[in-house]
Structure 1
Amino acid sequence: MVIGLDIGSTTIKCVVLDSQENIVFSSYERHLSQITSQTARMLEKIATSVPLGEDTFLMVSGSAGMGMAERCGLPFIQEVYATRVAARRLIPDADVIIELGGEDAKILFLSHGIEVRMNGSCAGGTGAFIDQMATLLDMTADEMDEVAERAEKIYTIASRCGVFAKSDIQPLLNQGARKSDIAASILYAVVNQTIGGLAQGHPILGKVVYLGGPLTFMSQLRQSFDKTIKTTGICPENSLHYVALGAAYSATEKVNLQQAIESLSSYKGDDSLPSIKPLFENEDEYLRFVQRHSLATVPVLDTGSCVDGVYLGIDAGSTTVKTVLIDRQGAILETSYQNNSGNPVPIIKARLEKLYQKHPGIRILGSAVTGYGEEIVRQAFQVDEGLVETVAHFTAAKHFMPQVEFVIDIGGQDIKCFQIHNGAVDNIFLNEACSSGCGSFLQTFATALGYPIDQFAKLGLFAKRPVDLGSRCTVFMNSSVKQAQKEGASVEDISAGLSVSVVKNALYKVIRTTSTSSLGTHVVVQGGTFLNDAVLRAFEQELGLQVVRPDIAGLMGAYGAALHCRSSARRESSIIDAQGLAAFTHEVKVTTCRSCTNACRLTVNLFNTGYRYISGNRCERPITNKAIDESLDLYAWKLRRLQQMAEVANPETAKEAIGIPIGL
């Protein structure tokens, strides 16, 4: 019997061949970073379920298999060579192989010799990228493939990494773009990344073969490749197992299967991995930490006696929607914290419906909204005020620490930091395109390692040897995490290391501070990411001081918005009432603006109240319906001025003649 193992960045693929090279066993499983233990279990399963005969041959391949094979004394073959061996055996006339894995991508050009193009540390355009984007759309990868079939429009989306893609996708979601269009756009982004990043101009001609999980399971992704390269590729039988098959075909070394299992089971990893100081030395230290941070609280009252004068704050964030209802004294009556599922409008509608049903006589004196979805929420529900996020968070921070000098808010995809001087905002730091160091940074790795984010965060609290992963972006951090996995680092050590990396990214990549002492001594931290005790502890260790984390750290934007509208002293809010909410409708249309040659593709959100919200426009004309004031056209003015100068010039008296092409 012959065993071929393909240990990839996220999965383990295995095939067992009999003496006639028939497949008698195959498996495809996620290893969730438990590479050696999962491989050992796989071999144990083979040993108990497949009659192996006297001689057993084994070969390991895959991007995550080399280090393990070397340390456990198992034969190894490079995955590109294994793929080529399988292709020559099964599809001898193949010209090009395009393979997408969990975090790996490669193109093999087989005609006229072999040429290989592989991704480096960037996981953009791979299965991990697709999974991240599907999570952002609140669906599975299979569901994303299904809805992409109904797409009517393709948006331009960056595919070099999930970080930049989110920066393109989140505004589309907040502006009401159809998920089917976004899903199809993501698949085309994967195609563009693969062809542009790997082929780099090399023509993809002849018989094209698609391999790997994403191309096997996602028919719309294959069609996107077909349309782009103008061909009809094939996805062969056992496309998931080609590397494992190539490894099996190449196996020439006999192994003792039981010894291999024991070697894998006893492998403990490499102690030479660079590590950093543990977050907590023991549980007593952690309990004191928790007790100290339980002091910054807001009174919470029963809404029953306070409905005759309340203020509503809404924070329509990049990944979540938060609401806070307060009384005239600032005490919290009700809160909500939900995933925005890519569209804040139905979330806010459901929240208001629940509020009106629970308190029929409620009297809202003021309402304010902040966050990514500020404008669409304000137009949809006639909220009184739209508030800049910085003002909302500063207002909330002052409530807990009037002498605050520095506020940092780490959300799902954004970081907001501002320094305070003499009671006013003196400097503002915001992350730009990159969301490394944000909540989604940890969420991405937690999902990849197979843990809910809250459980993943707790794993790192008492890690003995947190891995030093540095302060790099999500894409390059992938390679560091993969290397740590290959070296046998525990999930606990990786979790703690990532929490420290979040802090370092925020301090040294966003704020770009050269000295943490410049931030001041009165610091308030907020945002959902700081509800993670590991991140908070890492932040305090990096600053060398104790900070204040309010008990509503994840609701500070909404709470600040509520406090702000309370200070406006309104007598009645204009927010939509229960009767208006019952008749509320929201329709999204996609159209093309014909006001100029730009032909902007507009997403128009229409509400039954007569309000509308338009996105995708490059100027104000779709909103104002006004023509351009030609007197403000500097190009036309310059042309007229040049013509006037030419008319008054006297060629006979001029010493030199200068010709200026009008076309420039």
Structure 2
Amino acid sequence: MTEPKYTSILKIGIDIGSTTVKVVVLDEADNILYRAYERHFSKVREKTEELLNRASEILDGKQVRILITGSAGLGVAKSADLQFIQEVFATAKAVRSYIPNADSVIELGGEDAKIIFFKGSLEERMNGSCAGGTGAFIDQMATLLNVSVEELDELSQHFEKIYPIASRCGVFAKTDIQPILNQGGRKEDVAASIYQAVVDQTIAGLTQGRSLGETIVFLGGPLYYYKGLRKRFTETLGLDNEHAVFPENGDCFAALGAALSTDGYESTPFGDVLRRIRESVDDATHTNTMPPLFTSQEEYEEFCKRHNSNAPPKTDISSYTGDAWLGVDAGSTTTKLVLIDENCGILYSYYGSNQGNPVGIVLAELKKIYELAGDRIKIKGSAVTGYGEELIKNAFNMDLGLVETIAHYQAARHFNPDVDFIIDIGGQDMKCFKIRNGAVDSIFLNEACSSGCGSFIETFARALGYEIGEFSKLGLFVEHPVNLGSRCTVFMNSSVKQAQRDGATVADISAGLSISIVKNAVYKVIRAASADDLGKHIVVQGGTFNNDAVLRSFEQELKRQVTRPVIAGISGAYGAALYAKDTAPENPGLLTLNQLADFTHKARPITCKLCTNHCSLTINTFDNGRRFVSGNRCSRPLGKQKNDLPNLAKWKYDRLRSLTGVPGPRGKIGIPFGLNMFENLPFWHTFFTRLGFEVVLSPESSRSIYRLGQHTIPSDTVCYPAKLMHGHVISLIDEGIDTIFYPCMPYNFDEGAGDNHFNCPVVAYYPELLAANISELEKVRFLNPYFGLHRPKDFAKRAAAYFKGEFGIPAHETKEAARAAYKAYEDYKSEIRAKGEEYIKYARDNGKKILVMAGRPYHIDPEIGHGIDELAVSYGFVLISEDSIAHLVKKEPRKVLNQWTYQSRLYSAARYVCTQPDMEFIQLVSFGCGIDAITTDETRDILESGGKLYTQIKIDEITNLGAVKIRLRSLIAAVEARERT
């Protein structure tokens, strides 16, 4: 069959995205003659030329009109002197041509996510530098689960439950996913949860309060190829087949639109187009560079010799006879095992990816160890550490569990008894702690970001087509490592791409990334001003420091030599083995080889209904009926009663929720229960009750309340407590409340403890934002006046005028209600202080430690605090809040401007804790809180100057408490070690 001859001018649309190239060729009647969709692996010009060459039978000798579009297309268009069209116009052209009734478009690409609104004015909203919720995010998550993206999609279609997972960037999500896997969560559930995270990120991050309309078109490779992702979008948005449109060429729609848009442009011979693109391939400019890591092979060999001298003895397991001790480190991305002999020599070790199944890995390795040990070696004790500690301990009946910080200290002091600073960098976790007088002192842990960790560099290695080991070695001897700065992974994507466009080689980028990891660790996690802030005897651990480029960068940045044991990658497991050797019980409980032969493990997800937390539990069942429940915030799912130690956070929450409405002659008035209402509710409840209103509170916060208002949130970077307010307001409307009161309050009560008494800007003005973004408020009466409760006489006067105008209430009634409200507020504050005294006395009478959980009033909301208070109480603390003790110290000037009421309490409480030997302090911080960029450093300075440990816990919408447990247990271990010295 001969090919038809085309004498007319052909149309070419090329869409060059962040990860793929799409090419569409149309004839004069707009029929598709050729289409292609392939990944470019950062070689955008080469791949574009390749795809065009494949269409040469159609295009050779033809005149063509061509338009290039896409996030990476502008550079190609400029260097090749070809026409460019902005992708929103290209996509809009295709949508209007094929789906004219579309209200909006949701398009997901490799690293780009966008929504285009058609009804009303044409508007595009696009993700910034963050690739969370895109194809690259899905790729990363598939790698984490050790499956292909196709397998991930298939798994997602067999889920039973959805876990809450962050998707604003891959490293946040990994922090949420890994503990689920380590605790036995099903991959099917995790896969579907990953897709749900993409949906939530797109809706919350890009709609920003604007309605998507009825008919939505879904475009881009991920939405074209992944059926599970399609299902999560359609179910979440409540769309049927008629209103959810997935076009036949949805993966190439922007390229199709570009081709359709070529009408009116001058034609060019195809050969000329191909030549221009080919000649633009090697276009390069100057790149910002840094000094080399090593200048010679000899320098590198001396470096290796120095570090390789720090090694434990190795013993041949096949000939050794005697006692042994086992250590396991079930880390965030890897599983490590070490078996040591009587002299602390290593008989056996293992280091590998946990492949989303740490139980299976440990099972296989234990069988191997028993087979090698035979009857000659008796395992006298075992210990486990890491994210999967509880699961592995329960699965294999291991003797001991210990927090990672202590495990790593055990290993570090074995190699350097004078160690005064330890830094461990793993796949996603970074743990740094100072050692003072032989005990752990200050503790630093990375938050939900792993930009200074191993997964950071591994992500880029794979994206560039290399395995991590090969990639790391590339940069050792390059003359000009590229300066990529120190930013998070997804922000770094753009830096790497720019460096490639500027002519940097993969080796230059490899060295630059190694240096970037170190800068992130030193200046973002540790926040060191100089090397002296760390110490003189520094031990580095973790698999990331097996990378010589990272280790060299670390020494260069600190301008001093450090100790890296040869076993850096398995330090946690080695430390656990040492701990087992020192403290194992007389009768070890580790499963025998015969028991392992019958070992079984099944995991089943459920949602606990025993309290309002509604924890996502995983029920792990092993042979002989052994069981382990993970994901719980309290002991009730385990068949136990809640710990009855005093918990002031819970008392305050229950006290506020008890303020129910009393039916009154003036009807109902709704109050959204969030933000500063956790501070001011006793005031407003009394005020409106005295005025004859029935006060109706919005329901308790929950994930469903958040999703109820998710589509109206205009900013994904605002704190979670603020995001929840959208759902609280809508829930009141859905209940039929036609009058909602939520005032703007720039000032809080003046407690005389600071330089001023502001509310933070979010708390102060959020009612204005709600009014502007929640269209449902147009159906009800939304009262959001400006009031200042810090001036009682002025408030009474202003309130009298306002409520007379709104409801015709006589001024004397309003003023009387105001007097009663101020008294109710003062009584509530007195109750808190009295409860604080009562709980402190209880702790001291019963020999219990006291933990001050300091933050904002709304951090006691169980949906916001995620049960951290209950977790702390389960560890044996009596828990009180900062506002129960802040009044016990006099005002004192601070280094920073102390102008917010909540923060003034924070500083005062920290100062008071420094005077109490039986009190410890943790600070809760909301992600997105700009003010806490100031308060965290100031609070740390107060506590450490007073000889106390500083522990910070950042919280957002994700409920996983794995990192919180590490912090609390590290605090407990550090306090115990300090008391022993």
Q: Summarize the Cα distance change of 1:442–1:637 in structure 2 as closer, same or farther, 3 Å threshold.
A: closer
Whole-Å separation in 2 of the counterparts to 1:501 and 1:221: 34
Does residue 252 of structure 2 align to residue 241 of structure 1? Answer: yes
Whole-Å separation in 2 of the counterparts to 1:318 and 1:250: 49
Does residue 414 of structure 2 align to residue 399 of structure 1? Answer: yes
Q: Which amino acid letter does the alignment assign opposite residue 601 of structure 2? A: H
Does residue 350 of structure 2 align to residue 336 of structure 1? Answer: yes
Q: Which residue of 2 aligns with 1:411?
A: 426
**What does residue range 165-564 of structure 1 map to in structure 2 within 5 Å?**
165-232=173-240, 233-251=244-262, 252-266=265-279, 267-361=281-375, 362-564=377-579
Give the SS at the match of 1:275: coil
Instruction: Give deviations 1:374-397, integer Å, cap 9, x for gaps.
Output: 111111111111122111111111
Q: Which residue of 1 aligns with 2:116?
A: 108
**For the Cα contact (< 8 Å) 2:382–2:584, is it kept in 1?**
no
Cα distance, 1:245 vs structure 2:
1.5
**For the Cα contact (< 8 Å) 1:64–1:486, is it kept in 2?**
no
Whole-Å separation in 2 of the counterparts to 1:227 and 1:363: 56
**For the Cα contact (< 8 Å) 2:287–2:503, is it kept in 1?**
no
Which residue, 70, 83, 87 being the options, matches 2:95?
87
Which residue, 3, 11, 34 being the options, matches 1:2?
11
Cα distance, 1:538 vs structure 2:
1.3
Q: Mean Cα displacement is larger for which, 449-458 or 407-416?
A: 449-458
Cα distance, 1:593 vs structure 2:
3.3
**For the Cα contact (< 8 Å) 2:62–2:270, is it kept in 1?**
no
Whole-Å separation in 2 of the counterparts to 1:265 and 1:636: 67
Give the SS at the match of 2:55: helix
Whole-Å separation in 2 of the counterparts to 1:254 and 1:523: 66
Whole-Å separation in 2 of the counterparts to 1:104 and 1:122: 8
Cα distance, 1:402 vs structure 2:
2.1
Aligned residues: 649
Q: Mean Cα displacement is larger for which, 98-107 or 530-539?
A: 530-539
Higher relative contact order (CA 8 A, sep 6+): 1
TM-score normalized with structure 1 length = 0.92
Instruction: Give deviations 1:625-657, integer Å, cap 9, x for gaps.
Output: 226659878469979xx9xxxxxxxxxxxxx97
Give the SS at the match of 2:282: coil
**For the Cα contact (< 8 Å) 2:411–2:572, is it kept in 1?**
yes
Does residue 65 of structure 2 align to residue 41 of structure 1? Answer: no
Give the SS at the match of 1:356: helix
Which residue, 24, 31, 34 being the options, matches 2:33?
24
Q: Summarize the Cα distance change of 1:636–1:277 in structure 2 as closer, same or farther, 3 Å threshold.
A: closer
Q: Which amino acid letter does the alignment assign opposite residue 516 of structure 2? A: S
Instruction: Give deviations 1:543-593, integer Å, cap 9, x for gaps.
Output: 112222222111111111112222237555221111221222223233343
Whole-Å separation in 2 of the counterparts to 1:631 and 1:321: 38
**For the Cα contact (< 8 Å) 1:35–1:485, is it kept in 2?**
no
Q: Which residue of 2 aligns with 1:649?
A: none
Q: Mean Cα displacement is larger for which, 23-32 or 630-639?
A: 630-639
Whole-Å separation in 2 of the counterparts to 1:465 and 1:75: 35
Q: Mean Cα displacement is larger for which, 613-622 or 557-566?
A: 613-622
Q: Which amino acid letter does the alignment assign opposite residue 366 of structure 2? A: L
Cα distance, 1:520 vs structure 2:
2.4
Q: Summarize the Cα distance change of 1:27–1:427 in structure 2 as closer, same or farther, 3 Å threshold.
A: same
Q: Which amino acid letter does the alignment assign opposite residue 437 of structure 2? A: N
Give the SS at the match of 2:164: coil
Q: Summarize the Cα distance change of 1:627–1:473 in structure 2 as closer, same or farther, 3 Å threshold.
A: closer
Q: Mean Cα displacement is larger for which, 374-383 or 38-47?
A: 38-47
Whole-Å separation in 2 of the counterparts to 1:164 and 1:157: 8
Whole-Å separation in 2 of the counterparts to 1:569 and 1:186: 40
Whole-Å separation in 1 of the counterparts to 2:221 and 2:17: 11
Q: Mean Cα displacement is larger for which, 486-495 or 409-418?
A: 486-495
Q: Which residue of 2 aligns with 1:653?
A: none
Whole-Å separation in 2 of the counterparts to 1:63 and 1:521: 47
Q: Which residue of 2 aligns with 1:73?
A: 81
Q: Summarize the Cα distance change of 1:302–1:571 in structure 2 as closer, same or farther, 3 Å threshold.
A: farther
Q: Summarize the Cα distance change of 1:257–1:524 in structure 2 as closer, same or farther, 3 Å threshold.
A: farther
**For the Cα contact (< 8 Å) 2:69–2:255, is it kept in 1?**
yes
Q: Which amino acid letter does the alignment assign opposite residue 127 of structure 1? A: G
**For the Cα contact (< 8 Å) 2:410–2:579, is it kept in 1?**
yes
Whole-Å separation in 2 of the counterparts to 1:489 and 1:423: 46
Q: Summarize the Cα distance change of 1:90–1:518 in structure 2 as closer, same or farther, 3 Å threshold.
A: same
Whole-Å separation in 2 of the counterparts to 1:246 and 1:181: 37
Instruction: Give deviations 1:139-190, integer Å, cap 9, x for gaps.
Output: 1222122111111111211121112112221221122122211211111111
Instruction: Give deviations 1:89-109, integer Å, cap 9, x for gaps.
Output: 222332211110000011111
Q: What runs of 5+ residues in structure 1 fail to find an aligned partner? A: 643-655
Q: Summarize the Cα distance change of 1:627–1:370 in structure 2 as closer, same or farther, 3 Å threshold.
A: closer
Q: Mean Cα displacement is larger for which, 384-393 or 461-470?
A: 461-470
Whole-Å separation in 1 of the counterparts to 2:125 and 2:217: 15
Give the SS at the match of 1:494: helix
Give the SS at the match of 2:355: coil
Which residue, 570, 585, 591 being the options, matches 2:600?
585
Q: Mean Cα displacement is larger for which, 474-483 or 500-509?
A: 474-483
Q: Mean Cα displacement is larger for which, 230-239 or 19-28?
A: 19-28
**For the Cα contact (< 8 Å) 1:128–1:448, is it kept in 2?**
no
Give the SS at the match of 2:245: coil
Q: Which residue of 1 aligns with 2:70?
A: 62
**For the Cα contact (< 8 Å) 1:6–1:12, is it kept in 2?**
yes
Q: Which residue of 2 aligns with 1:159?
A: 167
Give the SS at the match of 1:50: helix
**For the Cα contact (< 8 Å) 1:313–1:559, is it kept in 2?**
yes
**For the Cα contact (< 8 Å) 1:75–1:253, is it kept in 2?**
no
**For the Cα contact (< 8 Å) 1:364–1:572, is it kept in 2?**
no
Whole-Å separation in 2 of the counterparts to 1:594 and 1:195: 28
Q: Mean Cα displacement is larger for which, 604-613 or 156-165?
A: 604-613
Whole-Å separation in 2 of the counterparts to 1:657 and 1:414: 52
Does residue 617 of structure 2 align to residue 602 of structure 1? Answer: yes
Identity of aligned residues (%): 54
Cα distance, 1:111 vs structure 2:
2.4
Whole-Å separation in 1 of the counterparts to 2:449 and 2:461: 19
Q: Which amino acid letter does the alignment assign opposite residue 636 of structure 2? A: R
**For the Cα contact (< 8 Å) 2:181–2:357, is it kept in 1?**
yes
Q: Summarize the Cα distance change of 1:82–1:485 in structure 2 as closer, same or farther, 3 Å threshold.
A: farther
**Alignment root-mean-square deviation, CA:** 2.6
Q: Which amino acid letter does the alignment assign opposite residue 388 of structure 1? A: V
Which residue, 90, 99, 121 being the options, matches 2:129?
121
Q: Summarize the Cα distance change of 1:569–1:182 in structure 2 as closer, same or farther, 3 Å threshold.
A: closer
Give the SS at the match of 2:498: helix
Cα distance, 1:10 vs structure 2:
0.5
Q: Which residue of 2 aligns with 1:645?
A: none
Instruction: Give deviations 1:195-253, integer Å, cap 9, x for gaps.
Output: 11111121122322111111001112111111121213121111111111222223324
Whole-Å separation in 2 of the counterparts to 1:637 and 1:44: 70
Q: What runs of 5+ residues in structure 2 fail to find an aligned partner? A: 1-9, 660-818, 830-981
Q: Mean Cα displacement is larger for which, 411-420 or 202-211?
A: 202-211
**For the Cα contact (< 8 Å) 2:107–2:218, is it kept in 1?**
yes
